[in-house]
Structure 1
Amino acid sequence: MSPAGRRTSGDWWSDETEENHRPPAARGRGSRRGFGQTWWGRAWVDALEHRAALDPGRLSRGRSYARRGAVGQMDVAPGLVMAAVQGSRAVPYTVTVRVPRFRRDDWERVLDAIAAQIGRTAALLDGELPPEVVSDVAAAGLDLLPGAGEIQPRCSCPDWGDPCKHAAAVCYLVADALDKDPFTLLRLRGKSRADVLSALRARRTPGPGSSAGPSAGLAGSSAEGVVARDAYAGASEPRPELPAPPLPPERPGHPVTVAFDPPPESGIDPEVLRALATAAAHRAWQLATATPGDPDHEGEADA
């Protein structure tokens, strides 16, 4: 006898016909769009398909459900994704996808590793998630992207697969959420954008009596600073003339060599990056040394 609430084999077969299998609210769509348009979205999909140890067949059917628009409103909370998915029945199924959150001491290690790289901290404070953050977290002995067994999908449907097609659809649409907001990845691990940025700002500005931290040199002698307008308003003596701008160098400079190449998951070719930087330096030198009437000067004016 089948367990209570579970479909019999006959019911299962009738629901798995092509017409019944397709979500009623989404029939006729079926566009084969991809998932993950940014590096962090693609990294999630790669972790989902190659590292999370989920059933590849169910993932394939989940992609079809996601493309057909079967997933409704999706909510992301620390360690948890929830969504309603329209299956072959009239009432949508409830899907939850859990990802283990970092512990408090784990987060301290992660934030210390990120704050040690001034460029990474500046990018995050500007709302960007540089791909090197994955390497920073790995250096702290943790993994930002989920590994085998870390994605735990559950669904209210009778299918006991891991995952079922409804849960797999939600897993893929997490990539869309990451494309819109890369901080979703950090939120899944337990901290919101505001929490992460607040912790990084605290590490940039040493407290009273503390010695220099990872970015203390940027803080200056005063944490609060002085508004430029107020500083100039009280000046009693004439302000000095602005100094003449320095002359350009005799030849184009060479871009600074970065200490580490971009991580493989970023999709950035370091050789192409260096070539672009070299070309930009050469073009900047041409513009700096051009005089009115030169083709370079005229071309820049037209642009």
Structure 2
Amino acid sequence: MTDRVRGYPAFPKGPRRARTWWGKAWVQAVEDTSLDQGQMRLGRRFAVAGVVGTITVSPGRLAAAVYDTEDTYRTSVSLTPLSDAEWGRFLAQVAAKAGHIAALIDGDVPHDLVAAADDAGVQLLPGIGDLDPECTCPGWELPCRHAAALCTQASWLLDADPWVLLLLRGREQAEVLAELQLSDTEEPRSVGVPATEVFAAPVVPLPAPPPLAALGPLPEFDPVEGVDVEALRWLVADAAARARELLLTGELPVLDEWHDRVRMACTVADPGLTARLAAVGPGLPRAMRAWGYGGSAALTVLDTPWSPSKAETARARRAWEGEELPVATVWRNRWTVEAEGLQLRFGQDGRWYPYREEQGVWWPAGPPDRDPAAALSDLMT
């Protein structure tokens, strides 16, 4: 049995946020479970302020001390470990595709692995209500700001090491690798030759290379009349990029002509293609910048104003007023701080997209955030 407890040093003070899709999924699970978004905002501030101590991770639990003014609180978050039967089904999904274990070792969690595990009845990532926070502070919130800070830093741990998630679900990395090695045979597979023997062995000279074969004349041909060779080269490069995306994510978004034109300009990144696409219609530079920050959703926010519901507008106003942000003029989904030349646009995906005025034109100015206060503070720093 391997040691199923791991300690991770405290994160230093400084701005940081979840980068990977699984780290963001963890944050989303916390936010969806939270009964008070104000505590979540305080928790994010605590996380970047460096007041969370060493984080201890073990099956079903992560814990840390959180320092708040003159008090120190013991904070933990629980996540139900997988049963032995669930672990068996999950390991079968990992073993079914050679790239899965290689991706985990490289610090990646493939979308298709999580989807395959879900199909087998194994929920690897937490969902709504799966994370159970506890804290010794007198607060009654769920989670309190101390637990929210711990959950925020846990997403940073998951960014750096997805094995943290598997340890929370009950198995340490060495156990998982050992079980995968024994999954196809009753006897352990060969562990190879000790490195000391390899380096002690004399160097064996390589055989002489075989003689080069005559290549013969290269084929000569002219492009078929009417075929734009340069455009064909761009299409091939774009097809290769889309094939890679399909392999990584298992799906390709369905886009209209304008969104696909912007996507292609950003993907191929060829000045000749950009110039040709820009000639078809105006606004391509701004659209490319929006796409770079948030893909198709960000491009929709750039192009299309819409009217959020009264409940969404009320939540935004509470967040805005709670953070004592500058006075903003509100028109539909756009909140403009005219004195600062800044603007936030609320997307139909529930995120806030920052904009900055440049020579009388609103330009996308950064990645979106679910917290309008955080999105605006990034612009003002």
TM range (shorter): 0.5 to 0.7
C-alpha distance in 1, partners of 2:134/2:107? 32
Corresponding residue for residue 326 of structure 2 = none
Shift of 1:142: 2.0
1:45 aligned residue (12, 27, 32) = 27
Corresponding residue for residue 153 of structure 1 = 133
| Residue 157 of structure 2 is aligned to residue 172 of structure 1 | no
Corresponding residue for residue 185 of structure 2 = 206
Q: How many residues were matched structurally?
A: 226
C-alpha distance in 1, partners of 2:77/2:120? 25
Secondary structure, counterpart of 1:175 in structure 2? helix
Moved more, 128-137 or 108-117: 128-137
Q: 1:243 to 1:112 in 2, by over 3 A?
A: farther
Q: 1:87 to 1:201 in 2, by over 3 A?
A: same
TM-score by length of 1: 0.60
| Residue 55 of structure 2 is aligned to residue 74 of structure 1 | yes
Shift of 1:37: 1.9
Shift of 1:174: 0.3
- Pairing 1:188-227 to 2, within 5 Å after superposition: 188-203=168-183, 205-207=184-186
Shift of 1:57: 2.5
2:68 is aligned with what amino acid?
G
| Residue 81 of structure 2 is aligned to residue 101 of structure 1 | yes
User: Is the strand fraction higher in 1 or 2?
Assistant: 2
Ranges in structure 2 where 5+ consecutive residues have no aligned partner: 1-12, 222-232, 271-381
Corresponding residue for residue 15 of structure 1 = none
| Residue 33 of structure 2 is aligned to residue 60 of structure 1 | no
CA RMSD of aligned residues (A): 4.4
TM-score by length of 2: 0.49
C-alpha distance in 2, partners of 1:245/1:202? 45
C-alpha distance in 2, partners of 1:169/1:83? 10
Shift of 1:44: 1.4
C-alpha distance in 1, partners of 2:249/2:168? 21
- Pairing 1:219-238 to 2, within 5 Å after superposition: none
C-alpha distance in 2, partners of 1:155/1:132? 35
Deviations 1:52-105 (A, max 9, x none): 3543222122112112222111111111111001123x2300001101110111
C-alpha distance in 2, partners of 1:40/1:77? 19
C-alpha distance in 2, partners of 1:243/1:172? 61
Ranges in structure 1 where 5+ consecutive residues have no aligned partner: 1-28, 209-218, 234-238, 280-303
Corresponding residue for residue 293 of structure 2 = none
1:42 is aligned with what amino acid?
K
Higher relative contact order (CA 8 A, sep 6+): 1
Deviations 1:110-129 (A, max 9, x none): 01011111221232344543
Q: 1:242 to 1:149 in 2, by over 3 A?
A: same
Secondary structure, counterpart of 1:71 in structure 2? coil
Q: 1:124 to 1:58 in 2, by over 3 A?
A: same
C-alpha distance in 2, partners of 1:110/1:178? 19
Secondary structure, counterpart of 1:93 in structure 2? strand
C-alpha distance in 2, partners of 1:96/1:246? 69
C-alpha distance in 1, partners of 2:208/2:247? 45
